[in-house]
Amino acid sequence: MRPPADPRRPAPLLLVLLTNFVLSFGKETLQTTAVTPQFQKNVDYVDFIYLNILEKKVLNNSEVSVQYLCSKPCIVSLEAVASSEFRTGVPVYRRRWKDEKNLYVSRTRQVHLKFPSIMVYRDDYIIRNSIIVHSVILYAWISHRSASSYGDEQNEDYQAAVAKNYTFLEAVPPFERPYKDHKVCLQWGADYLWMLQANRIPQCPHETDGVHVLEFIYASSGEKTGIVKKFEQFENRELETVRQHQVDYPMFTISIWLYLLHHCKKDLCGILYFIDSKEMYGTPAVFLNEEGYVHIQMHLMRGDDLAVKTSFSLPLKQWFRLDLSFKGGQIEVSSVGKNLKRHHHQSFTFREDFYYDDTAGYFVLGGSGYVNGIEAFFGPVKYYRLNVLETEQISNPLHDKDTVEQIELYYERCMDIQEIVYDYRYIVRQGEKTHRSCYYENYYLELIHKYGEKSKCDAFMWGKELREKYHTLFKLLQEMDFSSPDDGSDTVVEVGRRIFEKVVKGLSSANGLSNLGSSVPLLVDSSCCGYHKASYFLAVIFETGLGVPVDRIKGLLYSLVGAQGNERLSVMNLGYKHYQGINNYPLDLELSYAYYSNIAIKTSLDQHNIKGEQAFVETIRLMDDELLKAQTKENGDVFMWLKHEATRGNAAAQQRLAQMLFWGQQGVAKNPEAAIEWYAKGAIETEDPVLIYDYAIVLFKGQGVKKNIKLALELMKKAAAKGLPQAVNGLGWYYHNFKRDYKKAAKHWLIAEELGNPDASYNLGVLYLDGIYPGVPGRNQTVAARYFYKAAQGGHIEGTLRCSLYYITGNMEDFPRDPEKAVIWAKHIAEKNGYLGHVIRKALNAYLELSWHEALLHYILAAETGIEVSQSNLAHICEERPDLARKYLATDCVWRYYNFSVSQVNAPSFAYLKMGDFYYYGYQNQSRDLELSMRMYTQAALEGDSQGFFNLALVMEEGNSIPSYILDHLEIDQALHSSNTSLLQELYYRCWNNSNQETISPCSLALLYFYMRVLWNNVLHSTLIYFMGTFLLSILVAFAVQSFQSLSGNDSEDATRAVQQDEPTLSNDLSQQESNPQSPLVTS
């Protein structure tokens, strides 16, 4: 049962208030007269009272007609009670009168109701805060009282009333009310200010309590990452008031679509739960247990936490909807199928109401740092913040039916493939056991088995139809060797790996991409076997149209399948697409963070694992010839020279050589064992502190060498004594992990932190977070977060990851919620993953070896994960080999990947220049866009590229104007550079200033030419030209006269003819220069 009404709860309370009035006071009884009273003179008179209002609205001076009859001396009472969003049951009007003489006579009295001004008038200069009235009830009753009882309390009169009645008055919205005539004169200034805002009607924000938590399919891999959602207060005052009053009596509904792959493997797995501001589980916390039952934990009003478990389990590998509604202390749980028919339903009632404030923390969908998520696909998730709805009332359809059906078909097909692989392996193993028993008896057969061909299973027990359906799989199974003993790996996954490696080997060969069409079925089989590198290959193939027609649905399917299977590149692909909102993926920062944070956590763990196909992620652009020349291999000149110098005892060469081998840098294959040898050699021979420190670390952790804590400590102290900050931090790490001496650990970390070591900053944060900092009682998350931020600023991976979590949750005061910043920081860490670096390295090596098909394939794989350097490199390859791009890619490679590149935070300037040129000239089927081209040139200029300024100047030279917002971005003062000449001068000057000033550059020549043109134009338009012209003409005339006098008559005609020929030539030259003063620009 619901508890008694609380005056703080507006909307529900109002209903209770009205119900109470109707049931207790307004309901017809034996003493209540009918609406149309009937009088009969031959019977006893009965008291009655009736209200008649022509316009039932809350208006000032509303007239009400009160018709009544008293059988005894009586008191007639009239009272209006109002309810607003803040208060309920407030009397706003009262009127009483006595009637002792007119007995047994029906009388009518006209009453003018007068209400408070804030109820009936609009806001004005005097009435500043009119109220929103929800309802007004007008009560009327008759009491048989003596004159002395006239002053008694109203409640007593009403209880003793012999006749009563009531009516509702309709409230008028504030902006439909009239202005009040206050009969006062305002000063002119006050009146004018009021008139400026008198008719402004504020717009109430359109809000609803129904919120879409998730609208796109989310692949949950069962890791400790998930979607974080935070809800703010309602902007609508009425909704927010209701929400606040429901904190101690919550009423809300959650609807979740799920495609569950497995039940929880250990303890509990998160479906959806609330974490409060103290990082504790709140209401609700919904989990899945190992048997598939739903575990629901709630936080009660008194502070306790109680949990219940459903009696039904959730189904596997089928779409269903889980609906949960919460009301007070009750829970309703339902499971609904795709056809919206209810499969299961269960109710729970707790001993007290729940406490629930959905703005005092954040929701998590899936996993988090506190619990693993479920292995499933999440469909649409709908959250009704203020209402309890039945299953039929919930509006949460399962969108994108094509993808939903593809997921179901994929796992149905994969179940068949996995069953075939298991059965085939079992048959082969059983046959081998039978043969082996014969080998012990026959030495000849034993030799055949040992040195001959491996046994195959040619006689299948499967039907013809199944063999034809999966003929490629059966063919591959026959070629595989199942005689090797089990190594603990999953047989099905191992088969998938072998299929995948065979496909990749074929695709990496010369003209390998021509086999893509025939490779797709094999990749599908590999994906079904659980080897999800094949899933990512398929996703990229179908999304980009690599050797096959573009198929967005299949591309999305395999992206989701690969991400659910924890394939790192698939997860990053989805994170990138949701971050940018491209390729029909919706822009969803919370969903993008869920994917990126998963890989960011793995990046931190992968760096401590020296095994696996990992390589250091290097930023090497194919346009940078110097970096390309520096790439080497174990037999390359660079490596051999470093090895020679390292052998001679060069500490720098030993350090570089060890790093290249340990991390797989600069084209060298990863070889931790060889790297450790160089670390040891350098630490012993050269006394280099960095080499000593590195060798101590591998000894502490036992990476590629047997652990030796004693020697490691000696080396670490030796390096610290030489003043190496990371070695001082290493000593603190030793005292923390091995001695549990937090005082000494903090001492060393403080010293290292002062020396600028980010690891020390992070470690100090950990001490504060765990509450073990010496001399400081309890945990201090605020101080810890500041240390984590400082570590992140120094490039610390775990520190950056912590800060990204603070930004997505918004639970820390110093880290206001900023999902975009959280995504950027998590993306930055995820892009350092070693497995991604391995793919990039394979692409670069293939390019250097001129293996174009392999280079194109691997650069596409890396580019689709959102790695900018791979995107620009891929676009460069497509420019370099357009025939290859046109033949194998259905999308425009150059346009697509340069476009992707400029959308990144760290895009290079040449990519902006490329896109600027494409927009300026119009690229193939893309239309010309002058403004976008100028924006691209501007971005290149802001990156410090002189070509950006040069291109902007040329755009102006052609008669185009630069928009003012672009000039603002360039921080060019438009007041100082109002003319085109001044603006051109500024652009050419910045072009020259950002170029190499020690050599003659195009910018310096352009600036010089600009100044020459300005000077020439100034000369042509000044009075100096007229003075010089007159002076030269005078000289010519004087010379002509003198010549005429000195020469004979015959010579004078020739001289005159010569002058007439020279003058037009000089005149024509001048006229050409005046008419086309900018012609040298065209010539140049």
> What string of H, E and C letters represents the secondary structure of 985-999?
HHHHHHHHHCCCCCC
What integer is the mean pLDDT of 202-215?
Answer: 81
H helix and E strand count, the chain: 41, 20
3-state secondary structure 4-62: CCCCCCHHHHHHHHHHHHHHHHHCCCCCCCCCCCCCCCCCCCCCEEEEEECCCECCCCE
User: Which pLDDT does position 977 carry in this prediction?
Assistant: 84
**What pLDDT, in 10s, does the model give residues 306-342?**
999 999 999 999 999 999 999 999 999 999 999 999 9
pLDDT digits (tens, 9 = 90+) for 577-587: 999 999 889 99
Q: What is the pLDDT of residue 291?
A: 94
Judge whether 654 and 646 are in contact, CB under 8 Å.
yes
Residue 871 pLDDT > 90: yes
Q: What is the mean pLDDT of residues 474-499?
A: 74
Q: Which amino acid is at 210?
A: G
For the ranges 202-206, 881-885, 1033-1037, the maximum mean pLDDT occurs at: 881-885
Q: Above 60 in pLDDT, residue 1070?
A: no
The answer, yes or no, to whether residue 36 has pLDDT greater than 50, is: no
Provide the Cα torsion 961, 965, 971, 972; round to 10°.
30
Higher pLDDT, 345 or 1056: 345
Query: Is the per-residue pLDDT at 190 higher than 90?
Result: no
pLDDT of residue 461: 61
Task: Give the per-residue pLDDT at 573.
Answer: 96
Between 1027 and 567, the higher pLDDT residue: 567
Q: Is the pLDDT of residue 500 over 70?
A: yes
Give the H or E element holding residue 1043: helix 1024-1046
What percent of the chain has a predicted confidence (pLDDT) above 70?
83
- The larger pLDDT score, comparing residue 480 to residue 218, is at 218
Task: Say yes or no to pLDDT of 391 above 70.
Answer: yes
More confident residue, 710 or 451: 710
How many beta carbons lie within 10 A of that of residue 213, not counting itself? 19
17 Cβ neighbours under 8 A, 6+ residues apart: 5, 83, 88, 89
- Residue 300 CA to residue 353 CA, distance in Å, equals 6
Torsion sign, CA atoms 678, 680, 686, 688: positive
- Tokens matching residue 694: 């590195």
- pLDDT bin (cut points 50, 70, 90) of residue 1027 is low
- Tell me how crowded residue 1007 is: count the other CB atoms within 10 A of its CB: 23
With 90 as the cut, is the pLDDT of residue 797 above it? yes
Average pLDDT over residues 81-104: 86
Q: Are 856 and 842 in contact (CB under 8 A)?
A: no
- Return the higher-pLDDT residue of 455 and 584: 584
Q: Could you tell me if 993 and 1007 are in contact, meaning their C-beta atoms sit under 8 angstroms apart? A: no
Sequence-distant (6+) residues with CB within 8 A of 1041 are none
Is 284 in contact with 298 (CB distance < 8 Å)? Answer: yes
pLDDT at 612: 74
> Around Cβ 452, how many Cβ atoms within 10 Å?
9
Place of tokens 């590195």: 694
**Residue 13 confidence class, pLDDT cut points 50, 70, 90:** very low
The percent of residues above 90 in pLDDT, for the chain, comes to: 45
Q: Which of 873, 938, 893 is nearest to 912 (CA)?
A: 938
pTM attached to this predicted model: 0.77
pLDDT at 523 (0 to 100): 93
Q: How confident is the prediction for the chain on average, in pLDDT? A: 82
Cα–Cα distance list, 93 to 74, 113, 169, 702, 939 (Å): 20, 7, 13, 86, 68
pLDDT at 448: 56
For the cut 60, the answer to whether the pLDDT of residue 147 exceeds it is no
**Residue 671 confidence (pLDDT):** 78
Does the pLDDT at position 288 exceed 90?
A: yes
Please state the rounded mean pLDDT for residues 928-948. Answer: 92
Q: Which token pair is 966?
A: 């672009």
pLDDT tens per residue across span 646-684: 787 777 888 788 878 877 777 777 777 788 888 778 777
* 616-628 pLDDT, tens digit each: 888 889 988 888 8
Of the candidates 178, 83, 91, the residue with the CA atom closest to the CA atom of residue 133:
83
**pLDDT higher than 90, residue 831:** yes
Q: Given CA atoms 475, 476, 480, 486 in this order, what sign does their dihedral have?
A: negative
Do the beta carbons of residue 243 and residue 385 sit within 8 Å? yes
Number of neighbouring beta carbons within 10 Å of residue 188: 8
Which of 140-154, 412-426, 526-540, 1009-1023 has the highest average model confidence (pLDDT)? 526-540
What is the reported pLDDT for 152?
52
Mean pLDDT of 1028-1037: 66
Closest CA to 308 of 343, 274, 283: 283
- Average pLDDT, integer, range 418-435: 73
pLDDT band of residue 975 (cuts 50, 70, 90) is confident
Cα–Cα distances (Å) from 754 to 602, 725, 729, 790, in that order, read 30, 9, 11, 12
Name the packing angle between helices 516-528 and 491-507 (round to 10°). 160
Identify the weakest region by mean pLDDT among 40-54, 140-154, 614-628, 796-810. Answer: 140-154
Residue 43 has pLDDT above 50, yes or no: no
Find out whether 840 and 617 touch, Cβ atoms under 8 Å.
Answer: yes
More confident residue, 368 or 1062: 368
Mean pLDDT value across residues 555-574: 95
